[in-house]
A = this chain, B = another copy of it.
C-alpha cells in the first residue's frame, strides 16, 4: 500500500509506493517494450484491464476489440480509491493514506499512432476522455486535484511506446498547483483582471511568441520558457484545444525529429473558486536533454533558446 508523505521542511508531498517484491533498483537504462508484447494494443484488452470509459462503435462489446480509445486503471497504481486518507498522528513526520486514482488513457488502438499524425477528431477524443474521466472522478468529494500527464520517449520517463496518457487524482492540492493558483489570484486582486486573458491579449498584440491562433485557441511559446521549444496551448473556448493540439504537435515534429516530450494538463482543483482568475491550459515540454541537477525538482532552469526564436521556427513549420 502506498502513502503520501509530507516533507517537514518544505511541505511538499511525495507518494511512497513500494513496488511489491521488487529489490532495490539497479542502474539499468530504461527500455521500451517491443510492439509484439504491448499490453495497450488492440486484442490485448484482457491484459490492459477493464475499461472505465471507451469510444467504440455502437453495439461493440466492452473490453473487446473494435475500440478507438480506452481508459483503464493503472495496473500498478500509485493511489487507490479504496484507500483512506486518515489523519497523521506525528506532527513532524506526517503521512496520509494513498487515497486517489491512477488511470491510463490508451489514446489509439494503433501502436505507432501519435498526436502528430492523428486527425483532429482523434486528438479531440483524447481531450474528451481526460474531461470525462475528471468529471466522473470529481464526484468523489475526497479527490481535490487532477493531473494529466503524457510522457513520450524514454528521456521523458516513458516505459511504453504505445500512445497513452496518465490521469492522477490526488486527495490534496500539491504545492506547485497552489503556487500557480496563488500567482493568478494575486494578479487578479492587483488588477481585477485575469492573468491568462491579459497574457493572451498582450501576446497577440506583440506577435513575437504566438505560434498559431484562431478565435478558439492560441498556441504560444511562453515568455519564461524553461526549456528549448516549450509551448503552451491556451483555449479561448474550452472545446477548442483538440484541433490545436494536433496542429501544434505536427509543427513540433517538423522542428524536432521524433521529439521526446511531456505534455501536462493544468486545471483548477476542486474546492477553490478560481473561475475568474484561472484558465485550464496545456503545457508541452520537449525533453531533449536530461534535467540538469540545477533545475531538478523545481530548481533553476537555464534555457538556451529564447522563446521568440522557438515561436518563429514553429510558425514557419507546417
Please report A residues at the B interface, Cβ cutoff 8 Å: 5-19, 22, 24-27, 30, 78, 92-93, 147, 149-151, 154-157, 166, 168, 170, 174-176, 179-180, 183-184, 187, 195-196, 198-199, 202, 222-226, 228-229, 255-260, 262-264, 285, 287-307, 309-310, 313
Contact = CB atoms under 8 A, between A and B. Distances in A.
A233 to B, nearest CB: 15
Contact of A224 (B5, B180, B303): B5
At the interface, is chain A mostly helix, strand, loop or mixed?
loop
Nearest to A293: B262
Given A9-B180, A199-B92, A296-B262, A302 B15 contact: yes
A257 B29 CA distance: 13
Given A151-B292, A293-B285, A299 B226 contact: no
A156 B305 contact: no
B289 A30 contact: yes
Contacts of A294: 147, 149, 157, 166, 168
Contacts of A155: 290
Contacts of A306: 16, 18
A310 to B, nearest CB: 7
A24 B255 contact: yes
22 contacts: A8-B187, A9-B183, A9-B187, A16-B306, A18-B304, A19-B304, A24-B255, A92-B199, A92-B202, A147-B300, A149-B293, A156-B293, A157-B291, A176-B298, A264-B296, A285-B296, A285-B297, A287-B290, A291-B291, A291-B296, A295-B297, A297-B298
